[in-house]
Amino acid sequence: MAYAVLGATSWGVTIAGLLAANGHDVTILTRTPAEAGAVEARRGLARIPELSLPTTVSAVAAADVDAAFAGMVVAVPAQTVRANAAALRRFHSVPVLSAAKGIELGTGLRVSEVLAAEGWPVERVSVLSGPNLAHEVARGLPAASVVAASAGGEAERWQAALSGPVFRVYRSPDVVGVELGGALKNVIAIAAGVAAGLDMGANAMAAIMTRGLAEMTRLGVALGADPLTFQGLAGVGDLAVTCYSPLSRNHRFGELLARGESPATAAALIGEAVEGAATAPVALALAKRLGVDMPIAAQVVAVLDGSASIHQAMQALLGRALTVERAG
Protein backbone atom coordinates (compact mmCIF):
# COMPACT_ATOMS: atom_id res chain seq x y z
CA MET A 1 0.00 0.00 0.00
CA ALA A 2 0.99 3.64 -0.30
CA TYR A 3 1.35 5.73 2.85
CA ALA A 4 2.27 9.36 3.52
CA VAL A 5 4.28 10.62 6.47
CA LEU A 6 3.85 14.31 7.22
CA GLY A 7 7.08 15.66 8.65
CA ALA A 8 10.76 15.03 7.90
CA THR A 9 11.41 14.80 11.64
CA SER A 10 13.52 12.15 13.34
CA TRP A 11 10.44 10.13 14.27
CA GLY A 12 8.70 10.81 10.96
CA VAL A 13 11.61 9.50 8.89
CA THR A 14 11.95 6.51 11.24
CA ILE A 15 8.26 5.65 10.82
CA ALA A 16 8.70 5.95 7.06
CA GLY A 17 11.47 3.37 7.38
CA LEU A 18 9.20 1.04 9.39
CA LEU A 19 6.44 1.25 6.79
CA ALA A 20 8.90 0.69 3.95
CA ALA A 21 10.40 -2.34 5.71
CA ASN A 22 6.92 -3.88 5.67
CA GLY A 23 6.70 -3.53 1.90
CA HIS A 24 4.78 -0.26 1.63
CA ASP A 25 5.53 2.67 -0.64
CA VAL A 26 6.00 5.81 1.44
CA THR A 27 5.97 9.51 0.61
CA ILE A 28 7.47 11.88 3.19
CA LEU A 29 5.70 15.23 3.01
CA THR A 30 8.10 18.09 3.76
CA ARG A 31 7.75 21.84 4.32
CA THR A 32 9.59 22.90 1.18
CA PRO A 33 10.99 21.44 -2.06
CA ALA A 34 14.49 22.14 -0.72
CA GLU A 35 13.84 20.02 2.38
CA ALA A 36 12.46 17.24 0.18
CA GLY A 37 15.56 17.42 -1.99
CA ALA A 38 17.83 17.16 1.04
CA VAL A 39 16.01 14.04 2.30
CA GLU A 40 16.17 12.48 -1.16
CA ALA A 41 19.87 13.25 -1.58
CA ARG A 42 20.84 11.84 1.80
CA ARG A 43 18.20 9.08 1.85
CA GLY A 44 17.28 10.26 5.31
CA LEU A 45 18.40 12.81 7.87
CA ALA A 46 21.84 13.74 9.16
CA ARG A 47 20.56 13.51 12.73
CA ILE A 48 19.41 9.90 12.16
CA PRO A 49 22.56 8.44 10.59
CA GLU A 50 21.49 4.91 11.53
CA LEU A 51 18.78 4.91 8.85
CA SER A 52 19.17 4.89 5.07
CA LEU A 53 15.78 4.97 3.39
CA PRO A 54 15.11 2.49 0.57
CA THR A 55 14.04 3.58 -2.91
CA THR A 56 10.41 2.85 -2.03
CA VAL A 57 10.48 6.01 0.11
CA SER A 58 10.32 9.40 -1.62
CA ALA A 59 10.14 12.94 -0.29
CA VAL A 60 7.92 15.66 -1.75
CA ALA A 61 6.89 19.12 -0.56
CA ALA A 62 3.43 18.79 0.99
CA ALA A 63 2.01 21.53 -1.22
CA ASP A 64 3.06 19.63 -4.35
CA VAL A 65 1.77 16.15 -3.55
CA ASP A 66 -1.03 14.78 -5.70
CA ALA A 67 -1.48 11.12 -4.90
CA ALA A 68 -3.81 8.66 -3.22
CA PHE A 69 -2.76 7.13 0.10
CA ALA A 70 -4.05 4.29 2.25
CA GLY A 71 -3.15 6.32 5.33
CA MET A 72 -1.26 9.37 6.54
CA VAL A 73 1.03 9.62 9.59
CA VAL A 74 1.35 13.06 11.21
CA ALA A 75 4.83 13.27 12.73
CA VAL A 76 5.42 17.01 13.06
CA PRO A 77 5.89 18.79 16.43
CA ALA A 78 2.61 19.07 18.31
CA GLN A 79 2.54 22.87 18.20
CA THR A 80 2.69 22.86 14.37
CA VAL A 81 0.03 20.21 13.76
CA ARG A 82 -2.83 22.65 13.21
CA ALA A 83 -1.01 24.73 10.60
CA ASN A 84 0.13 21.61 8.77
CA ALA A 85 -3.28 19.97 8.92
CA ALA A 86 -5.00 23.08 7.58
CA ALA A 87 -2.96 22.73 4.39
CA LEU A 88 -4.00 19.11 3.85
CA ARG A 89 -7.78 19.36 3.70
CA ARG A 90 -7.83 17.39 0.45
CA PHE A 91 -6.77 14.32 2.45
CA HIS A 92 -9.56 14.35 5.04
CA SER A 93 -10.97 11.09 3.71
CA VAL A 94 -7.64 9.35 4.40
CA PRO A 95 -7.15 7.55 7.74
CA VAL A 96 -4.71 9.56 9.82
CA LEU A 97 -2.34 8.47 12.60
CA SER A 98 -0.95 11.03 15.04
CA ALA A 99 2.62 10.26 16.08
CA ALA A 100 3.02 13.68 17.74
CA LYS A 101 3.32 13.88 21.53
CA GLY A 102 2.04 17.10 23.03
CA ILE A 103 -0.92 19.29 23.94
CA GLU A 104 -1.73 22.38 21.90
CA LEU A 105 -0.90 25.72 23.49
CA GLY A 106 -3.83 28.06 23.89
CA THR A 107 -6.56 25.45 23.39
CA GLY A 108 -5.41 22.59 25.63
CA LEU A 109 -6.44 20.16 22.89
CA ARG A 110 -4.77 16.83 22.30
CA VAL A 111 -3.36 16.33 18.79
CA SER A 112 -6.19 14.00 17.76
CA GLU A 113 -8.65 16.73 18.77
CA VAL A 114 -6.73 19.27 16.69
CA LEU A 115 -6.91 16.96 13.67
CA ALA A 116 -10.64 16.51 14.21
CA ALA A 117 -11.10 20.27 14.56
CA GLU A 118 -9.32 20.71 11.22
CA GLY A 119 -11.74 18.37 9.47
CA TRP A 120 -10.69 14.75 9.88
CA PRO A 121 -13.64 12.57 10.98
CA VAL A 122 -13.04 11.43 14.56
CA GLU A 123 -13.51 7.79 13.59
CA ARG A 124 -10.62 8.05 11.06
CA VAL A 125 -8.13 9.43 13.63
CA SER A 126 -5.73 7.11 15.49
CA VAL A 127 -2.81 7.85 17.82
CA LEU A 128 0.54 6.10 18.35
CA SER A 129 2.63 6.21 21.52
CA GLY A 130 5.11 4.12 23.46
CA PRO A 131 8.79 3.78 24.43
CA ASN A 132 10.09 4.49 20.93
CA LEU A 133 13.40 6.36 20.82
CA ALA A 134 13.89 7.09 17.14
CA HIS A 135 17.62 6.30 17.13
CA GLU A 136 17.07 2.82 18.56
CA VAL A 137 14.14 2.01 16.27
CA ALA A 138 16.16 3.26 13.29
CA ARG A 139 18.98 0.88 14.29
CA GLY A 140 16.55 -2.04 14.18
CA LEU A 141 16.58 -2.65 17.92
CA PRO A 142 13.47 -4.32 19.40
CA ALA A 143 10.67 -1.99 20.50
CA ALA A 144 6.95 -2.00 21.18
CA SER A 145 4.26 0.63 20.86
CA VAL A 146 0.50 1.05 21.17
CA VAL A 147 -2.02 2.46 18.71
CA ALA A 148 -5.38 3.73 19.93
CA ALA A 149 -8.51 4.59 17.99
CA SER A 150 -12.19 5.03 18.71
CA ALA A 151 -12.91 2.63 15.85
CA GLY A 152 -11.32 -0.81 16.29
CA GLY A 153 -10.80 -1.28 12.57
CA GLU A 154 -8.61 1.82 12.40
CA ALA A 155 -6.35 0.58 15.20
CA GLU A 156 -6.03 -2.77 13.43
CA ARG A 157 -5.13 -0.99 10.17
CA TRP A 158 -2.15 0.79 11.72
CA GLN A 159 -1.16 -2.20 13.83
CA ALA A 160 -0.82 -4.26 10.66
CA ALA A 161 0.95 -1.50 8.71
CA LEU A 162 3.64 -0.84 11.34
CA SER A 163 4.25 -4.17 13.08
CA GLY A 164 7.33 -6.09 11.98
CA PRO A 165 9.92 -8.59 13.22
CA VAL A 166 11.38 -6.18 15.81
CA PHE A 167 8.64 -3.55 16.15
CA ARG A 168 5.54 -4.84 17.92
CA VAL A 169 2.35 -2.76 18.03
CA TYR A 170 -0.52 -3.34 20.45
CA ARG A 171 -4.07 -1.95 20.17
CA SER A 172 -6.05 0.13 22.67
CA PRO A 173 -9.49 1.78 22.65
CA ASP A 174 -8.28 4.51 25.04
CA VAL A 175 -7.34 7.39 22.76
CA VAL A 176 -7.32 9.89 25.63
CA GLY A 177 -5.02 7.84 27.85
CA VAL A 178 -2.57 6.82 25.13
CA GLU A 179 -2.30 10.38 23.89
CA LEU A 180 -1.94 11.97 27.32
CA GLY A 181 0.64 9.40 28.38
CA GLY A 182 2.80 10.32 25.40
CA ALA A 183 2.43 14.04 26.06
CA LEU A 184 2.75 14.22 29.84
CA LYS A 185 5.76 11.92 30.20
CA ASN A 186 7.86 14.58 28.44
CA VAL A 187 7.17 17.01 31.29
CA ILE A 188 8.27 14.49 33.92
CA ALA A 189 11.34 13.62 31.85
CA ILE A 190 12.54 17.22 32.10
CA ALA A 191 12.51 16.92 35.89
CA ALA A 192 14.30 13.56 35.64
CA GLY A 193 16.92 15.12 33.39
CA VAL A 194 17.47 17.86 35.94
CA ALA A 195 18.00 15.22 38.63
CA ALA A 196 20.50 13.42 36.39
CA GLY A 197 22.30 16.68 35.66
CA LEU A 198 22.60 17.39 39.37
CA ASP A 199 23.87 13.82 39.96
CA MET A 200 21.10 13.20 42.47
CA GLY A 201 21.28 9.43 42.04
CA ALA A 202 19.07 6.56 40.92
CA ASN A 203 16.80 6.80 43.99
CA ALA A 204 15.80 10.37 43.13
CA MET A 205 15.26 9.48 39.48
CA ALA A 206 13.00 6.57 40.45
CA ALA A 207 11.04 8.77 42.85
CA ILE A 208 10.49 11.44 40.18
CA MET A 209 9.38 8.84 37.66
CA THR A 210 7.00 7.10 40.06
CA ARG A 211 5.43 10.23 41.50
CA GLY A 212 5.33 11.68 38.01
CA LEU A 213 3.34 8.68 36.85
CA ALA A 214 0.90 9.30 39.71
CA GLU A 215 0.22 12.87 38.61
CA MET A 216 0.03 11.88 34.94
CA THR A 217 -2.61 9.31 35.88
CA ARG A 218 -4.58 11.79 38.00
CA LEU A 219 -4.86 14.26 35.14
CA GLY A 220 -5.59 11.51 32.64
CA VAL A 221 -8.46 10.12 34.70
CA ALA A 222 -9.88 13.61 35.20
CA LEU A 223 -9.92 13.98 31.41
CA GLY A 224 -11.62 10.64 30.85
CA ALA A 225 -8.73 8.20 30.42
CA ASP A 226 -8.60 4.64 31.73
CA PRO A 227 -6.10 4.62 34.65
CA LEU A 228 -4.78 1.22 33.53
CA THR A 229 -3.51 2.77 30.30
CA PHE A 230 -0.86 4.56 32.35
CA GLN A 231 0.45 1.17 33.50
CA GLY A 232 1.13 0.20 29.90
CA LEU A 233 3.42 1.12 27.03
CA ALA A 234 2.05 4.63 26.54
CA GLY A 235 2.33 5.35 30.26
CA VAL A 236 5.05 3.81 32.40
CA GLY A 237 6.80 2.33 29.35
CA ASP A 238 7.28 5.62 27.55
CA LEU A 239 7.89 7.44 30.83
CA ALA A 240 10.71 5.09 31.85
CA VAL A 241 12.70 5.37 28.64
CA THR A 242 12.18 9.13 28.39
CA CYS A 243 13.24 9.73 31.98
CA TYR A 244 16.34 7.52 31.92
CA SER A 245 17.75 7.61 28.39
CA PRO A 246 20.23 10.30 27.31
CA LEU A 247 18.76 9.83 23.81
CA SER A 248 15.60 11.56 25.06
CA ARG A 249 15.48 15.23 24.06
CA ASN A 250 13.44 16.12 27.15
CA HIS A 251 15.92 14.35 29.43
CA ARG A 252 18.85 16.16 27.78
CA PHE A 253 16.97 19.45 28.06
CA GLY A 254 16.63 18.91 31.82
CA GLU A 255 20.33 18.09 32.11
CA LEU A 256 21.22 21.32 30.32
CA LEU A 257 18.99 23.29 32.69
CA ALA A 258 20.77 21.66 35.63
CA ARG A 259 24.11 22.82 34.19
CA GLY A 260 22.93 26.41 34.23
CA GLU A 261 21.70 26.87 30.66
CA SER A 262 18.59 28.99 30.12
CA PRO A 263 15.52 27.24 28.63
CA ALA A 264 16.05 29.08 25.34
CA THR A 265 19.72 28.12 25.12
CA ALA A 266 19.00 24.52 26.14
CA ALA A 267 16.33 24.23 23.43
CA ALA A 268 18.73 25.69 20.85
CA LEU A 269 21.43 23.22 21.84
CA ILE A 270 19.00 20.31 21.44
CA GLY A 271 18.16 21.53 17.94
CA GLU A 272 14.79 19.76 17.76
CA ALA A 273 11.40 20.27 19.37
CA VAL A 274 11.43 19.75 23.15
CA GLU A 275 7.76 18.85 23.50
CA GLY A 276 7.76 18.79 27.30
CA ALA A 277 8.68 22.47 27.52
CA ALA A 278 5.61 23.45 25.51
CA THR A 279 3.32 20.87 27.13
CA ALA A 280 4.17 21.69 30.77
CA PRO A 281 2.26 25.00 31.08
CA VAL A 282 -0.74 23.62 29.17
CA ALA A 283 -0.88 20.51 31.34
CA LEU A 284 -0.62 22.61 34.49
CA ALA A 285 -3.43 24.89 33.31
CA LEU A 286 -5.64 21.87 32.64
CA ALA A 287 -4.77 20.45 36.07
CA LYS A 288 -5.68 23.68 37.85
CA ARG A 289 -8.97 23.91 35.97
CA LEU A 290 -9.85 20.36 37.01
CA GLY A 291 -8.53 20.59 40.57
CA VAL A 292 -5.76 18.03 39.96
CA ASP A 293 -2.52 18.25 41.91
CA MET A 294 0.60 18.09 39.68
CA PRO A 295 3.53 19.24 41.84
CA ILE A 296 6.31 18.05 39.52
CA ALA A 297 4.75 19.71 36.50
CA ALA A 298 4.26 22.87 38.58
CA GLN A 299 7.97 23.04 39.44
CA VAL A 300 9.00 22.35 35.84
CA VAL A 301 6.85 25.31 34.80
CA ALA A 302 8.33 27.47 37.57
CA VAL A 303 11.85 26.75 36.30
CA LEU A 304 10.86 27.37 32.69
CA ASP A 305 9.19 30.71 33.41
CA GLY A 306 11.99 31.85 35.72
CA SER A 307 9.92 32.06 38.89
CA ALA A 308 12.09 29.41 40.60
CA SER A 309 15.68 28.25 40.32
CA ILE A 310 16.51 24.58 39.87
CA HIS A 311 17.45 24.25 43.56
CA GLN A 312 14.33 26.12 44.72
CA ALA A 313 12.17 23.80 42.62
CA MET A 314 13.78 20.68 44.09
CA GLN A 315 13.45 22.05 47.62
CA ALA A 316 9.79 22.83 46.98
CA LEU A 317 9.15 19.21 45.95
CA LEU A 318 11.04 17.71 48.89
CA GLY A 319 9.46 20.12 51.37
CA ARG A 320 5.84 19.41 50.49
CA ALA A 321 3.46 18.32 53.27
CA LEU A 322 3.70 14.61 54.00
CA THR A 323 0.76 12.56 52.73
CA VAL A 324 -0.34 9.06 51.73
CA GLU A 325 1.07 7.45 48.61
CA ARG A 326 -2.34 6.73 47.08
CA ALA A 327 -5.24 9.08 47.62
CA GLY A 328 -8.62 8.02 46.30
User: Catalytic positions, please?
Assistant: 185
DSSP line for 145-210: EEEEESSHHHHHHHHHHH--SSEEEEEES-HHHHHHHHHHHHHHHHHHHHHHHTT--HHHHHHHHH
Contact yes or no for 151/120 (Cβ under 8 A): no
How many angstroms separate the CA atoms of 216 and 171, rounded?
21
Bridge partners (DSSP) of residue 25 are 2
- The terminus-to-terminus CA distance of the chain in angstroms comes to 48
Q: Is 185 within 8 Å of 217 (Cβ atoms)? A: no
Residue 64: count of CB within 10 angstroms of its CB: 11
User: Nearest 5°: CA angle at 69, between 64 and 72?
Assistant: 85
Distance CA 180, CA 157 (A): 22
Nearest to 99 by CA among 117, 84, 87, 119: 84
